[in-house]
C-alpha cells in the first residue's frame, strides 16, 4: 500500500512543510536536473557562500552588543577607502568558508590588493570567486541594509603574474549573486537560467526559496543616484537628472548600498546610476565584483546594464582586477531611456 501524507494537517501547514524543503542546495541540484560533477560542485560552492552569508548575518545581528564588530580598523584598502571592522570580518569569513569547499584556488576581493591563493585547493580548484564582502560599508554603523556580492568563474590556472585568466568578461560568469542583510537575510543568485531569491529562515538555519524566475518590470518609477555629485558630472548626466525632475512619476531612492538599491529595482523596476565624476571618470564601482555580477542578475531578470558610454557591462574585457566602471543598471526601458538622453547630450557641457 502507498503511504499518503496525514490528512489532519491544514493546507497551510502542508504548504509550510513543502516550502521548508525547497532549500538552496536542493534547488540548485534541481536546476541542473542531475547529480553531475558540475551540479555537485555548484551545490557545494553555493552552500559555502550561503554559510558565509549566515555567519555574517549572525555577526551583524549582534554587532552593536559585542566588542570590535563596528567601527574602522584604521587601515586603508587597495581602493584608498578606509576598512571597517565588518569589511575585514566578512572578507575573512568568505575566504575561510570557500577554502573548505576545496574547489577554489584563488579569490579576488575588494579588500585585498592581490587575490587570496589557497594552495591546498589548486590541484582540484576549477573555479575562482570574485567578491565584495560588504557592500554599502557606510551603512554598517547605523544598522542599515548592506550586502555581499559574488561572482563565480571558471579559472583553472594558477597564474599569479597578471592574473589574466581572472580577467574575463562578465558574460562568461558561471553564476553570480548577492546576499542582502536587511529586515530578513536574502540570497539572490543566477546560474544563467533565471534569477531566484531565497530567504534565510533563522530557526531552520536554511535559505528557503522565496521567489524563482524573478523578472524586473520593464519600466519602473525609481531613479537611484547620488545627486550630491551633480556639479561633478558631465552635462549629459546632469541633463538626465533635470529630465527626471520635470517628468511626473519619477521618484528618488538611494540607500548608499548598491545591493539594496539594485534589489529594490529588481523587485519594483527603475534605474540605478553611478556615473563618473571629474575626479573619478570611471566612477566608484568596481567591474569584476560589483557591476558585473549585478549586470548578470539584472539581465537574467529581463533588465539591462551598460556603462554611461552605452557599452554592455557584460561585454567589457577587464584589464585590471580592481577596475572601476561608470554604471547604469535597471529595467530595460529605463536604461534605454538613460542611454538615449546621454547619447543626445553627449556634447553638452556641464553647468553648475
Ligand atoms: P563598498 O561599501 O563596497 O565600498 O561600496 C559602496 C558603494 C555602493 O554600495 C554604493 O552604491 C556607493 O558606494 C555609494 O557611494 P556614494 O557614497 O559615493 O554615493
Ligand atoms: Mn561595494
Ligand atoms: Mn565593499
Encode the chain (352 residues) as per-residue pLDDT tens digits: 555 556 788 888 888 887 778 999 999 999 999 889 999 999 999 999 999 999 999 999 999 898 889 999 999 988 888 999 999 999 999 999 999 889 999 999 999 999 999 888 888 888 999 999 999 999 999 999 999 999 999 987 776 677 889 999 999 999 999 999 999 999 999 999 999 999 999 999 999 999 999 999 999 999 999 999 999 999 999 999 999 999 999 999 999 999 999 999 999 999 999 999 999 999 999 999 999 999 999 999 999 999 999 999 999 999 999 999 999 999 999 999 999 999 999 999 999 9
Instruction: Give how far Cα 224 sits from Cα of 142, 197, 216, Å.
Output: 20, 22, 15
Residue nearest to ligand 1 atom 1, measured at CA: 135
Does residue 276 have its Cβ closer than 6 Å to ligand 1? no
DSSP 311-328: -BGGG---SSTT-B--EE
How far does the centroid of ligand 2 lie from the alpha carbon of residue 284, in Å? Answer: 9
Q: Which of 147, 226, 289, 328 to mutate to test the pocket of ligand 1 (most atoms within 8 A of CB)?
A: 226
Domains in the chain, please, with CATH? 11-211 (3.30.540.10), 222-344 (3.40.190.80)
pTM comes to 0.95
**Are the CB atoms for 129 and 150 separated by under 8 Å?**
yes
Q: Which atom of ligand 1 is nearest to the CA of 274?
A: 11
**Are the CB atoms for 259 and 149 separated by under 8 Å?**
yes
CA 285 to CA 77: how far, in whole Å? 14
For 81, counting Cβ atoms within 10 Å of its Cβ (0-12 exposed, 13-18 middle, 19+ buried), the class is: middle
Question: Looking at the chain, how many residues does it have?
Answer: 352
Amino acid at each position: 500500500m502507498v503511504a499518503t501524507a496525514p490528512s489532519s494537517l491544514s493546507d497551510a501547514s502542508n504548504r509550510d512543510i513543502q516550502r521548508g524543503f525547497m532549500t538552496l542546495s536542493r534547488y540548485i541540484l534541481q536546476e541542473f536536473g542531475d547529480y553531475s560533477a558540475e551540479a555537485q560542485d555548484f551545490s557545494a560552492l553555493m552552500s559555502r557562500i550561503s554559510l558565509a552569508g549566515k555567519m555574517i548575518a549572525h555577526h551583524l545581528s549582534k554587532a552593536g552588543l559585542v566588542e570590535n564588530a563596528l567601527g574602522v580598523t584604521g587601515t586603508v584598502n587597495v581602493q584608498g577607502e578606509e576598512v571597517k571592522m565588518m569589511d575585514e570580518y566578512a572578507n575573512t569569513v568568505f575566504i575561510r568558508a570557500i577554502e573548505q569547499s576545496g574547489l577554489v584556488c584563488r579569490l579576488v576581493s575588494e579588500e585585498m590588493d592581490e587575490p587570496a591563493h589557497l594552495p591546498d585547493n589548486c590541484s582540484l580548484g576549477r573555479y575562482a570567486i570574485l567578491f565584495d564582502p560588504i557592500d554599502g560599508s557606510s551603512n554598517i554603523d547605523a544598522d542599515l541594509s548592506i550586502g555581499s556580492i559574488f561572482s563565480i568563474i571558471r579559472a583553472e590556472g594558477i597564474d599569479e603574474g597578471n592574473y589574466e585568466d581572472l580577467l574575463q568578461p562578465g558574460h562568461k560568469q558561471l553564476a553570480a549573486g548577492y546576499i542582502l542583510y536587511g529586515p530578513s537575510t536574502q540570497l539572490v543568485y543566477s546560474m544563467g537560467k533565471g534569477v531566484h531569491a531565497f530567504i534565510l529562515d533563522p530557526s531552520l538555519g536554511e535559505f528557503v526559496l522565496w521567489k524563482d524566475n524573478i523578472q524586473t518590470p520593464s519600466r519602473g518609477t525609481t531613479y537611484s543616484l547620488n545627486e550630491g555629485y551633480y556639479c561633478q558630472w558631465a552635462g549629459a548626466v546632469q541633463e538626465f537628472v533635470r529630465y527626471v525632475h520635470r517628468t511626473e512619476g519619477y521618484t528618488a531612492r538611494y540607500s548608499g548600498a548598491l545591493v539594496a538599491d539594485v534589489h529594490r529595482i529588481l523587485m519594483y523596476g527603475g534605474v540605478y546610476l553611478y556615473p563618473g565624476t571629474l575626479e573619478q571618470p570611471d566612477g566608484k564601482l568596481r567591474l569584476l565584483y560589483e557591476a558585473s555580477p549585478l549586470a548578470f542578475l539584472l539581465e537574467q531578470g529581463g533588465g539591462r546594464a551598460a556603462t554611461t558610454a552605452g557599452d554592455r557591462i557584460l561585454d567589457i574585457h577587464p584589464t585590471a582586477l580592481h577596475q572601476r566602471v561608470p554604471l547604469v543598471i535597471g529595467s530595460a526601458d529605463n536604461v534605454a531611456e538613460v542611454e538615449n538622453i546621454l547619447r543626445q547630450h553627449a556634447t553638452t557641457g556641464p553647468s553648475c
